[in-house]
Amino acid sequence: MDDGKPTGPKATWWSRPAPGRVPEQEPHGHPRPLPEPQEHARPSPEPQQHAQPLHEPDAYSTPPYGGPGPWAPAPPVQVPTPAHGVFLPPADRPRADQADQASPAGPGGPGLPGGPQWGPYDPWGVPGQQPFTDQGTPPRPRRRVGIVGALLFALLTGVVGGAVGANVERNNGFGSVELPQAGPDLGDRAPDSVAGIAASALPSVVTLHVSGADEQGTGTGFVLDRQGHILTNNHVVQPAGASGEISVTFSGGETARAKIVGKDSGYDLAVVKVSGVSGLKPLPLGNSDNVRVGDPVVAIGAPFDLSNTVTSGIISARERPITAGGESGDGSDVSYVDALQTDAPINPGNSGGPLVDSKARVIGINSAIRAADTGGGAEGGQAGSIGLGFAIPINQGKRVAEELINTGKAAHPVIGVSLDMEYTGDGARVGKEAADGSPSVVPGGGAAKAGIRSGDVITEVDGQRVHSGQELIVKIRAHRPGDRLALTVVRGGRERTVNLTLGSANGT
């Protein structure tokens, strides 16, 4: 019967309904066939023979026999939440295996061109979403994920590197550190070098610790002979008095008791002796008359009780008249020295130590320094060296030491006059009378025999200018009793030269 509708084959029972369309139901749940859209009507083809299924048709079209029935789709199923990191493809992306499939139906419906493409049934799938088993091309990784990964890698690398570096620093690297170093040598030094001089002289230098009833002090000395005689300064042993103790420490650390053999305040020299000590090494004596300004020298001592201290310098001047001491007030402890001046650093504690030449021979006994704060004085003060040190010439020290060892006293050369120490003019003036009221010119003395009178001014000794009474005493003390001297004398404005022989007086 032709009712004006296009004719065509009816949908078979395994056909799927178009999305969004629900087929009308026949009584007893049988689906009613859907009519074909008119706009897609086609001429009726010849009936075709279809293969018979291998089982009896299921009136309810229940899976898995055949495709799903034409009933309404089941309600959405709650999809399990995928594990962290599992990629879910976009819901609107078509499956790769469906992209090129041809639809047996026309547009607008199932199996039609332009209609939805059906894949295998997935009961857990969400409508319109690609299943997890999609084998299509994976999406391109996002750039942000790559940047975050790079930052995390850099952070991790920095943390690990810092930890490794800190561990290496705490443990001195991956292994023990060995720095390059010169190998040992034989210790030989040139004999005239400071090191060579020190090596030769140090075994003969000692440190003295002196203690008395009221005071104590530290100084230096050096060995004179194998009998144990040691030369030092008088002001070093002065604190011992008559009943004090003197301890001598050698360069190797050995100690011994010492006693005073003799001392002289006018020369500021003293000799002590140790007993029961063997292996003593005397320090050779030089000749101070051979010293020239600019000669290298080495000073050895115990400045501020720092034993075995070595300093070096040169001879800055010769025959420098100095006086030291005078603390007693009566002038009995004043020393007069025609000294060697040196810039080798000398400090408190160096007193009595040797000043040696380039051949490690003694040319002087370190005795005094000129301090910037006091302007002069003995080394007993605590002012440091300013490069002005003074040493007693060894020629004078040798003579005095011999006298002290042999007699216990030292003889002082004299000319037989009393000087006016308050005279401010140039030269040394003979006083009117002595301190005790006796004549200023000693009768029968050397000056009296040479014709010197009270009021005469002595300006030169053996051609060397003198500017004060102290300088005249220094020049006289530089000689021995019995030596002949030429003095230049001014009287009444007239100058003349006289010769005399030095007398002798016992020192204190």
* Per annotation, catalytic residue among 15, 235, 307, 357: 235
Q: Is 235 a catalytic residue?
A: yes
CA distance 56 to 389: 136
- In three-state secondary structure terms, 396 is helix
Q: Is the separation of the CB atoms in 487 and 461 below 8 Å?
A: yes
Structure-token match 């088993």, residue found: 133
Tokens standing for 267? Answer: 């020369």
In the DSSP assignment, the letter for residue 240 is G
Following DSSP, what letter does each residue of 82-132 receive, concatenated?
A: PPTT-----TTSPPGGGTTPPPSS-TTSTTSTTSPPP-S--TTPPTT---T
Strand bridging mode 205-211 / 245-250? antiparallel
Distance of CA 222 to the CA centre of its chain: 37
Q: Is the separation of the CB atoms in 320 and 189 below 8 Å?
A: no
Structure-token match 């002087």, residue found: 364
CA distance 103 to 359: 122
Identify the helix (H) or strand (E) that includes residue 15: none
Q: Is 483 a catalytic residue?
A: no
In the DSSP assignment, the letter for residue 367 is E
- In three-state secondary structure terms, 359 is coil
Nearest to 428 by CA among 463, 451, 461: 461
Q: Is the separation of the CB atoms in 227 and 273 below 8 Å?
A: yes
386: left (phi over 0), alpha (psi -120 to 50) or beta: alpha
- Angle CA 41–44–47, to nearest 5: 140
Following DSSP, what letter does each residue of 195-230 receive, concatenated?
A: HHHHHHHGGGEEEEEEE-SS-EEEEEEEE-STT-EE
- Angle CA 78–82–84, to nearest 5: 150
Q: Is 268 a catalytic residue?
A: yes
* Per annotation, catalytic residue among 15, 229, 264, 268: 268
CA distance 449 to 357: 41
Tokens standing for 378? Answer: 């003995």
CA distance 401 to 174: 67
Cis bond before residue 19 (omega within 30° of 0): no
Q: Which residues are known to be catalytic?
A: 235, 268, 351
